[in-house]
Amino acid sequence: MRLIDKPMKSNTKHNRIQRKLLVGIVYPLLLVAAICTMVPLLWLISSSFKTADEIFAVPIRWLPKLPPRITSSPYILSNVYPKVKKPHSVDNNSWKTLQPELETVIWNKAQQHFVEILTQSNSVFTQQLQTEIIEGVWQLHVTTLPVEFWDRTNDSIVTEIEKSIIPETIETILNNIYRQTVLETIEIEDIEFNRYKIDNINWNTASEVIKLIQQSQGSTLKTNLSYNFEDVNDVILLTNVKSPVAIERIRRIILPVHGDASYHHLTLTITSNATTYKPTHPYILDNALRKDTMWRLHGIPGELEASQMTMQQIISKQDMIKGQITQGTTNNLSLKLTIHRPSYISIVWDKFTSNYSKLWKAVPYNRYFINSVFIATASTLLALFFCSLGGFAFAKYQFRGKTILFGIVLASMMVPFQVLLVPLFGLMYDIGWLNSYNAIIFPFSVGAFGVFLMRHFIVTIPSELLDAARIDGCSEFGIYYRIVLPIIKPALGALTIYTFLSSWNGYLWPLIVLRDETKYTLPIGLANLIGIYRQDYGMLMAGTLLSLLPIVILFLAMQREFVQGITLGSVKE
């Protein structure tokens, strides 16, 4: 007995050691693998809240930044470029003398290209600008010089760098660090789509927190705004415009704005005679690019005009009285431009939802989403019905040529879909299904894989159970509906996820068949966000993240059936 117990105890101890090794090595490896598979999803979620500068930042920025608290504009962004570092081939003693000389030369050379900015800035502002300009020139220009360049004398190095600084480099750096709101010349568009440019607009303000600097660049009159929000939350600009058409015939007022990326709200109020137009939502200064803000007074916007600010008409009793007194002056427009600083929570919300709001304005995303849901749902339901019927026939019925026919079905799985594109396109053309949902749904309503999967599940159902149902008077379709379908729920769950994913992610065939943009699916619509003239990857990430929601919901709903479908038959009784 002792000789028998001793091997048993050693085996138990050995099993415990193996279990500890399994827990200590395999489980951490599985955890690392799970984290690695989650990295793309986490990057997708993070990028959907980022601006373009954050997405392409070097080094890589994993989390989006909180927006700055901007109380005054113009302002300088800090830490855009890394600090000046000593080249490796320059010794420390030489660098102590060379660095101040280089910084002085860079700054003196750069000042020649933005003298007008320095005239409106204070000393602190100038110091910040000087630091960022020097670091920018060093990063974009000096660090690219070859190593042998630093073997020269200090005077030669300084002279060569001074000669090599070009205006384009300074302009690039300035655009990256300098933020200011600029207004340009207004245009008025009538209901017949004729545009009239309004020259010589003079914005006025009675507030001391804002200064206006007007300058002409060619035929364009620009108004640079310099404001301070330390004591107030609103700055107001006023002007009067003589419109070439009556206000009832104005479709849009177009105001080009160069934003300062402060996430402040810009609203335009228009008053003429007894009528006042106020926007339903503000324009958010969420970037530092020039953009035509369009304030629509009349007319129905098209699909490409979703980003316009709709104006709401308001008529008060006092305005009615004024309208009776000032009849005949309906072409005189009073414009009131308000820049509002919202709460910081609202600024954070605007920043993190910027890509999502722009997505809805840039493309008809709702329409794409509905199209994809309809096509994927219809394709999945038809595939479940026909594949389960086909699998039932191959599994439980005996007929001539059954083996050959099933072999043909399996052989069709080996044919690449690309081979079928041309004949399938010709068939759709002949029956008149091009540019329709039918061409996407019905050709894939029966798949060889689905029939194969259903057949192998239904084979496991005892034939005696079906014979008993026939004896009880159940029809063949009743047997399929009342007995077979409830038993093969796990297989139906697995096929549902497979078919829905295939249809939801389908890109090539819908791209070939569909011509009307209103019928596009999500993959096509999202692909159109990236083109030659538009590369907004933040919107693409936001749209892609939203497109994952139906898939996640479907998997959670069908998770139990899906897992059962995978594990069915894996346990031997």
* pTM attached to this predicted model: 0.78
Is a pLDDT exceeding 70 seen at residue 437?
yes
Poorest-pLDDT segment among 270-279, 322-331, 474-483? 322-331
Helix ranges, 397-507 (H): 402-412, 421-430, 438-441, 448-458, 463-471, 476-479, 485-487, 489-504
Q: What is the CATH number of domain 365-567?
A: 1.10.3720.10
Rounded CA-CA distance 351/49 in Å is: 8
Is a pLDDT exceeding 50 seen at residue 146?
yes
Question: Over pLDDT 70: what percentage of the chain?
Answer: 87
Is a pLDDT exceeding 90 seen at residue 128?
no
Please, which pLDDT band fits residue 307 given cuts at 50, 70 and 90? Answer: low
Rounded CA-CA distance 506/514 in Å is: 12
- pLDDT given at position 303: 55
- Could you tell me which residues are beta bridge partners of residue 195? 189
Right CATH for 187-343 from 2.60.120, 2.30.30, 1.20.1070, 3.40.50:
2.60.120
Question: Over pLDDT 90: what percentage of the chain?
Answer: 31
Q: Token pair for residue 241?
A: 């415009």
Q: How is the chain split into domains, by residue range? A: 2-47, 75-178, 187-343, 365-567
- Do the beta carbons of residue 313 and residue 295 sit within 8 Å? no
Please, which pLDDT band fits residue 115 given cuts at 50, 70 and 90? Answer: low
Is a pLDDT exceeding 80 seen at residue 476?
yes
Give the tens place of pLDDT for each residue, 8-52: 556 676 677 777 777 778 778 888 888 888 888 888 899 999 988
Give the tens place of pLDDT for each residue, 185-219: 899 999 888 999 987 788 888 777 777 776 665 56
Q: Token pair for residue 469?
A: 């149902």
In angstroms, what CA-CA distances link 32 with 46, 230, 363?
20, 49, 38
- pLDDT given at position 341: 92
